[in-house]
Structure formats: C-alpha cells, structure tokens
C-alpha cells in the first residue's frame, strides 16, 4: 500500500467536544494542515499543546481521525499527551 506523507494534522479548535465536530476539512498537504503542532502560522504558534484542543489527523493510510487532548502527563513541555479520539476507517470526513 502507498503511505501518505506530508502535512497531516490540523488544529480545529482550542476547546469544545469531539461530538461537536461534524466534518473535517479536505486534506491537501498544504496550509492550514501542518506537520508539527507548534507551527507558527497554522498550529499553536510555538506554544505547547493544551488540554482541550481538538485536532484532526489524516492518517498515512488515507483515513481521517479527530482527537481531543485530555492530559499532559509530563507537563506543558512533556514528551507525551493523552487523548480521546474518533476514527473513520472508511475514509469519510464526516463524524
């Protein structure tokens, strides 16, 4: 199978709930999609992830997922985070 590379994450909201995300923007491998969360234009503008943020992911297999950051075990600049997520295995952007 072909593995998709490039900009595959996009910040949808700084707070809210996963159930409030009806659809994800079409993936384009261009802005506002980013390859690092701290992107200075379309990401967190250099800031660490925050609990409550909602991000969409375009997987390397070509499916969409939406996740919400629920915890930062190592603190704001830690090396991990916990999250809740929704995943569409059929490639749909609708949640």
Summarised one tens digit per residue, pLDDT across range 22-44 is 999 999 999 999 999 999 999 99
Give the global pTM: 0.93
How far apart CA 52 and CA 63 sit, in angstroms, is 23
Q: Within a 10 A sphere around the Cβ of 84, how many other Cβ atoms?
A: 12
How far apart CA 21 and CA 31 sit, in angstroms, is 20
Can you list the residues of the chain whose pLDDT is less than 50?
A: none
pLDDT of residue 28: 94
């Amino acid at each position: 199978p072909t593995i998709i590379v490039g900009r595959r994450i996009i910040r949808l909201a700084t707070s809210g709930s996963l159930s409030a995300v009806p659809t994800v923007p079409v993936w384009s491998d261009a802005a506002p999609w980013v390859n690092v969360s701290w992107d200075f234009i379309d990401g967190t503008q250099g800031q660490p992830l925050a609990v409550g943020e909602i991000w969409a992911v375009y997987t390397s297999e070509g499916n969409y997922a939406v996740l919400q950051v629920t915890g930062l075990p190592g603190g704001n600049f830690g090396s991990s985070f916990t999250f809740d997520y929704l995943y569409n295995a059929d490639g749909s952007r609708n949640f």
